[in-house]
Structure formats: structure tokens, C-alpha cells
């Protein structure tokens, strides 16, 4: 068994695809409209779905905003160098909500960036 994807609902699919591909460097792997259900799914990630966990971006037609809720935590992405990654994301127009530094009560270097819908994304240095 393995984790296939994490799904998040987004208010503007094109804006979210641009963020995940242009700011975080993922690839758009596939996208499909479901007219009968009035939604579109787009899958983004760093590699082929057969070997990597990806994000499923769900756009429900006509819905431009969601409350994030209190149960969702964050998406985590491993990077080679957290300081360098945050600077590159900032340069690409991404919003850094916690600069690179040691995690609370630990030594692992982390940072947080926010996607266009407000979802937090943790950057964790490669061990």
C-alpha cells in the first residue's frame, strides 16, 4: 500500500495550477472536466503518479472560496535547502508565512509557504 494523493478544494483552478507549477516547480500531470458533476480535477506533482504521491486540486464549478477548517494541518514538501527554497519561492511571488529556521522544540530546519487558497505548505530540509 502507498499514499496516492492528497485532495484540496481550490477557488480558482488556473491560479492554483500556476502556483503549484510556477512557484513550487511541480508539473501538471493530468486534468479532466466532469460536466455531470460540475467539477474539474487537476493532479500536480514532482513525478509520475505511478511512483510519487501527488496533489489533487478539485475545482467545484462556481465555488470561489472555502473555509479551511480546523482539522487540516498542512502539506509537506522535502527540499534540499530550506533557506534557498524559501528565497526562490519568494522570488517567484510565493507568500512565505514562516521563514526558514529550526522547528519548535527541535533542530530540523523548516519553513512555511501559503498557496493561493490559504493552505499552508511546510518545507522540510532533506535529512
Q: What is the pLDDT of residue 111?
A: 97
The model's pLDDT over 66-78, given as tens digits with 9 standing for 90+, comes to: 988 878 889 999 9
In a domain, 106, yes or no: yes
Q: How confident is the model at residue 37 (pLDDT cuts 50, 70, 90)?
A: very high
Q: What is the CATH number of the domain that holds 81?
A: 3.10.180.10
In a domain, 70, yes or no: no
Which residues are catalytically annotated? 122
Q: Which among 28, 60, 92 is the end of a domain?
A: 60
* 56 and 16 in a common domain: yes
How far lies 1's CA from each of 4, 47, 48, 51, 125, in Å? 9, 18, 17, 12, 26
* 99 and 52 in a common domain: no
* 53 and 26 in a common domain: yes
In a domain, 28, yes or no: yes
Count of domains for the chain? 2
Share of the chain above pLDDT 90, in %: 86
* 56 and 9 in a common domain: yes
Angle at 89 between CA 66 and CA 12, to 5 degrees: 25
Average pLDDT of the residues in 56-82: 92
pTM of the model: 0.87
The parent domain of residue 38 ranges over: 5-60
In a domain, 16, yes or no: yes
Average pLDDT of the residues in 24-53: 96
Q: Is residue 97 over pLDDT 80?
A: yes
* 86 and 56 in a common domain: no
Contact residues for 31 (Cβ-Cβ < 8 A; gap 6+): 17, 40, 41, 42, 43
Amino acid at each position: 500500500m502507498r499514499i496516492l494523493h492528497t485532495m484540496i478544494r481550490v477557488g480558482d483552478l488556473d491560479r492554483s495550477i500556476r502556483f503549484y507549477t510556477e512557484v513550487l516547480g511541480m508539473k501538471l500531470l493530468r486534468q479532466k472536466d466532469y460536466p455531470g458533476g460540475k467539477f474539474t480535477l487537476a493532479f500536480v506533482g514532482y513525478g509520475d503518479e505511478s511512483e510519487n504521491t501527488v496533489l489533487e486540486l478539485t475545482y467545484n464549478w462556481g465555488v470561489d472560496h472555502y473555509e479551511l477548517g480546523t482539522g487540516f494541518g498542512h502539506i509537506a514538501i522535502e527540499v534540499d535547502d530550506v533557506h534557498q527554497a524559501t528565497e526562490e519561492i519568494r522570488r517567484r511571488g510565493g507568500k512565505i508565512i514562516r521563514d526558514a529556521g529550526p522547528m519548535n522544540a527541535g533542530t530540523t530546519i523548516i519553513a512555511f509557504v501559503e498557496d493561493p487558497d490559504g493552505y499552508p505548505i511546510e518545507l522540510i530540509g532533506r535529512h
